[in-house]
Amino acid sequence: MVPLPLALPFAELEVGQQFYWQLGRLQLHGQVFLSSWVVIGALLALVVIGTRRMERDPRGVQNLLEFLWTYIRDLAREQIGEKAYRDWLPFIGTLFLFIFVCNWGGALIPWKIIELPSGELGAPTADINTTVAMALLVSLSYFYAGLSRKGLRYFEYYVEPTPIMLPFKIIEDFTKPLSLSFRLFGNILADELVVGVLAFLVPVIVPLPAMFLGLFTSAIQALIFATLAANYIGEAVHEEHH
Amino acid sequence: MTSWLLLATADAVTGAATGSPEGGLFDLDATLPLMAVQVVLLTFILNALFFRPVGQAVEEREGYVTTSRAEAKQKLAQAERLAADLSEQLREARQDVQNLIVEAEQEADKLYREALAAAQAESIAVREQARSQIESEKQQALASLKAEADRLGALIVDRLLAA
């Protein structure tokens, strides 16, 4: 062990340590699930409070929810297209809301107060498992969207506009989830590390700009993930007009 | 910067030594499929609790606004048509009134002229009558004078001749 120069409470850094749970022979990252449950709980509480009494003249939380709904609908409609966006609106919206609340929750909730035996609580999206899981879901859903809408004609997409595109399009199927997951994971983890390192070195004021930048990045990353997911689905269901 | 990296590796090493699984940033395990299941479940829950009801509310309102606007437009068009109708009627009424006034003026003028002409004709007739009466009386008087003169003349002649 390397002795730390300073040992301040709330300002220790742990990277790559996990709080393992055993489930049979499987191993789980407990801290990711704990924080994701908090995030999902917050999201569901917001939604339940906002939709309890729906009125034609919206008031209070209903306003916020309707704003979010129209925002997500516009995003999905723009990327997927008028015909198919309705089927995918909940998926895109859930990705956006979940990632957004995860990112902001990771930055805003003082997780460090809660001591875990090992590892530390943080944004669930700072764990590679979460982002890969969502990226793979996106891959599955755009394949499903393309196949269910166009059948085997979906694979024409691979040779359009010319068959030379075939290898690139196949490579794309691998790079899409890879870039999606690593972009989100890298951004959120880096943000947490920057804030952590700054807080570790100078615990007052200095980390604040980095924290605000982190909030900004977090929101942008959620938007990017949702937009790209919608874009991939839109690409898969897009009908060529011959 | 290196301290936490060293710390992480050191901890990972000690973790491995104590039998717990090694950590790491790229530690993929059963968290991945369970998280995927969790996200899918969340999608269905949010669809039922959020996307469907809120979407319904928003779209109902959009429909309500659209129909209200269409209705209002229709009513506005109707009102404009009515206003146009009424102003047309008003214009016609004004025209009628104008015509009536002109007619009445013409009528009055005509009556006045007629009355004037009648009065003039009557005055001329009366004058003419008076003149003719005077003329006839004059003739009569002349005739009677002449007769008288003739008689007197005859009388003088008779007397002279007789004498």
Nearest to A106 by CA among A13, A189, A205: A189
Tell me how far CA of residue B111 lies from CA of B93, B100, B101, B106, B116, in angstroms: 26, 16, 15, 8, 8
pLDDT at A11 over 70: no
* Residue A177 sits at the chain B interface (C-beta within 8 Å): no
* Residue B62 sits at the chain A interface (C-beta within 8 Å): no
Q: What is the ipTM of this complex?
A: 0.85
B28 → closest Cβ in A13, A20, A128: A128
* Residue A120 sits at the chain B interface (C-beta within 8 Å): no
pLDDT at B6 over 50: no
Contact across the interface for A51 and B58, Cβ inside 8 Å: no
Question: In the numeric block, which tokens belong to residue A108?
Answer: 């805003």
- Closest chain A residue by Cα to residue B58: A66
* Residue A136 sits at the chain B interface (C-beta within 8 Å): yes
Whether the CB-CB separation of A229 and A93 falls below 8 Å is answered with no
Query: Contacts by A20-25 with C-beta closer than 8 Å and gap 24+?
Result: A20/A118, A20/B20, A20/B21, A23/B30
A20: enclosing H helix or E strand: strand A20-23
Question: In the numeric block, which tokens belong to residue B82?
Answer: 């009515």
Residues A14-29 pLDDT 10s:
676 778 888 777 888 8
d(CA B88, nearest CA chain A) in Å: 42
Contact across the interface for A27 and B21, Cβ inside 8 Å: yes
Contact across the interface for B8 and A51, Cβ inside 8 Å: no
% of chain B beyond a pLDDT of 90: 56
Q: What residues are paired with A21 via a beta bridge? A: A28
* Residue B156 sits at the chain A interface (C-beta within 8 Å): no
Average pLDDT score, chain B: 85
Alpha-carbon distance of A118 to A51, in angstroms, equals 39
Average pLDDT score, chain A: 85
pLDDT at B8 over 70: no
Residues A167-223 pLDDT 10s:
988 999 999 999 999 999 999 988 888 888 888 888 788 888 888 998 999 999 999
Which chain B residues have a beta carbon less than 8 Å from that of A127? 31
φ/ψ of residue A26, rounded to 5: -90, 155
A133 → closest Cβ in B36, B47, B50: B36
Instruction: End-to-end CA distance of chain B: give it in Å, rounded.
Output: 194
Give the CA dihedral B86, B92, B95, B96, nearest 10 degrees: -120
φ/ψ of residue B17, rounded to 5: -65, -35
- Closest chain A residue by Cα to residue B60: A56
Structural Rg of chain A based on CA atoms: 21
Give the CA dihedral A209, A212, A218, A224, nearest 10 degrees: -90
pLDDT of residue B23: 67
pLDDT at B7 over 70: no
